[in-house]
Structure 1
Amino acid sequence: MNPHISLLTPKQIDRHYRRTLKVVVVSQAFGGAGLAAGLTVGVLIMEDMLGTEALSGLAVALLTLGAALAAFLVGRVTQKAGRRLALGFGFGSGGVGALGVIASTVVDSPPLFFVSLFLYGAGTATNLQARYAGTDLAPAERKGTAISIAMVATTLGAVAGPNLVEPMGSVAASMALDPLTGPFILGAAAYLIAGIILLAMLRPDPFLLAREIEIQEAQHLDSEAEPTTGLASLGSRRVVLVGALVMIISQIVMVAIMTMTPIHMRAHDHALGAVGLVIGLHIAGMWLPSLVTGLLVDKIGARLTAISSGVVLLISGLIAAFAPNNNLAGLILALVLLGVGWNLGLISGTTLVVQGTAPATRAATQGSIDVWVNIFGAGAGVFSGIMMSAAGFAALSIAGGIMALIIVPTLWLAPRKPIAV
Structure 2
Amino acid sequence: MTVLDDYRAIQRRSVSLLGAGQVLGGLGLGAGLSLGALIAADLSGSPAWSGMAATMTTLGAAAAAIPLARLARVRGRRVALTVGALIAALGAVATISSVVVDSFPLLLLALALLGSGTAVALQSRFAATDLATPTHRARDLSLVVWATSVGAVVGPNLVGPGEVVGAALGLPSLAGPFVFTVVAQIAAAAVYVVGLRPDPLLLRQELDAAPAAPSSVAPAVGRPHHAVFAITAVALSHAVMVSVMAMTPVHLVDHGSSITIVGLVISLHIAGMYALSPVFGTLADRVGRVPVILLGQVIFVAALLTVALGAESQTGVTVGLVLLGLGWSASTVAGSALLAESVTADRRAITQGRSDLAMNGAGAFGGALAGPALALLGYPGLAVLALAIVAVTVSLAIRLRLVSRR
Indicate the TM-score class for this superposition, using the shorter chain for normalisation: 0.7 to 0.9
Report matched runs for 1:19-418 at 5 Å: 19-37=13-31, 40-50=34-44, 56-165=50-159, 168=162, 181=175, 183-217=177-211, 236-267=223-254, 270-323=257-310, 327=314, 329-415=315-401
Give the number of the structure with larger relative contact order, counting CA–CA contacts within 8 Å between residues 6 or more apart.
1
Alpha-carbon contact 2:37-2:53 (below 8 Å) kept? yes
Alpha-carbon contact 1:34-1:184 (below 8 Å) kept? yes
Aligned AA for 1:356? Answer: S
Aligned AA for 1:202? Answer: L
Cα shift at 1:208? 0.8
Alpha-carbon contact 2:99-2:174 (below 8 Å) kept? no
The runs of 5 or more residues in structure 1 that have no matched partner are 1-6, 222-227
Alpha-carbon contact 1:96-1:119 (below 8 Å) kept? yes
Q: What is the aligned residue count?
A: 401
- Give CA-to-partner distance per residue, 1:159-217, whole Å, 9 cap, x none: 21234455545665776766555654433332222112111111111111121122113
What is the alpha-carbon distance in structure 2 between the residues aligned to residue 325 and residue 107 of structure 1?
Answer: 43
- Give CA-to-partner distance per residue, 1:12-46, whole Å, 9 cap, x none: 11111111111112111112223435664434444
What is the alpha-carbon distance in structure 1 between the residues aligned to residue 36 and residue 178 of structure 2?
Answer: 9
Q: For structure 1, which segment, 55-64 or 290-299, has the greater mean C-alpha deviation from structure 2 after superposition?
A: 55-64
Alpha-carbon contact 1:104-1:112 (below 8 Å) kept? yes
Cα shift at 1:321? 4.0
- Give CA-to-partner distance per residue, 1:312-352, whole Å, 9 cap, x none: 2233233334445672x444323222221111111111111
The runs of 5 or more residues in structure 2 that have no matched partner are none
Q: For structure 1, which segment, 76-85 or 329-338, has the greater mean C-alpha deviation from structure 2 after superposition?
A: 329-338
Alpha-carbon contact 2:59-2:361 (below 8 Å) kept? yes
Aligned AA for 2:350? Answer: A
Match in the other structure for 1:225: none
Identity of aligned residues (%): 35
Q: Cα RMSD between the aligned structures?
A: 3.1
Q: For structure 1, which segment, 83-92 or 210-219, has the greater mean C-alpha deviation from structure 2 after superposition?
A: 210-219
Paired residue secondary structure (1:369): helix
Match in the other structure for 1:4: none
Alignment CA distance shift 1:401-1:415 (3 Å): closer
Alignment CA distance shift 1:319-1:176 (3 Å): farther
Match in the other structure for 2:4: 10
Paired residue secondary structure (1:405): helix
Paired residue secondary structure (2:130): coil
Cα shift at 1:301? 0.8
Alpha-carbon contact 1:57-1:259 (below 8 Å) kept? no
Alignment CA distance shift 1:108-1:272 (3 Å): farther
Alignment CA distance shift 1:410-1:220 (3 Å): closer
What is the alpha-carbon distance in structure 1 between the residues aligned to residue 127 and residue 256 of structure 2?
Answer: 42
What is the alpha-carbon distance in structure 2 between the residues aligned to residue 219 and residue 31 of structure 1?
Answer: 34
Cα shift at 1:304? 1.1
What is the alpha-carbon distance in structure 2 between the residues aligned to residue 191 and residue 92 of structure 1?
Answer: 6
Paired residue secondary structure (1:217): coil
Alignment CA distance shift 1:306-1:316 (3 Å): same
Match in the other structure for 1:224: none
Q: For structure 1, which segment, 363-372 or 46-55, has the greater mean C-alpha deviation from structure 2 after superposition?
A: 46-55
What is the alpha-carbon distance in structure 2 between the residues aligned to residue 271 and residue 169 of structure 1?
Answer: 23
Cα shift at 1:98? 2.5
Alignment CA distance shift 1:92-1:277 (3 Å): farther
What is the alpha-carbon distance in structure 2 between the residues aligned to residue 387 and residue 108 of structure 1?
Answer: 34
TM, length-normalised to structure 1: 0.85
What is the alpha-carbon distance in structure 2 between the residues aligned to residue 42 and residue 52 of structure 1?
Answer: 14
Q: For structure 1, which segment, 178-187 or 207-216, has the greater mean C-alpha deviation from structure 2 after superposition?
A: 178-187
What is the alpha-carbon distance in structure 1 between the residues aligned to residue 165 and residue 249 of structure 2?
Answer: 21
Aligned AA for 1:65? Answer: L
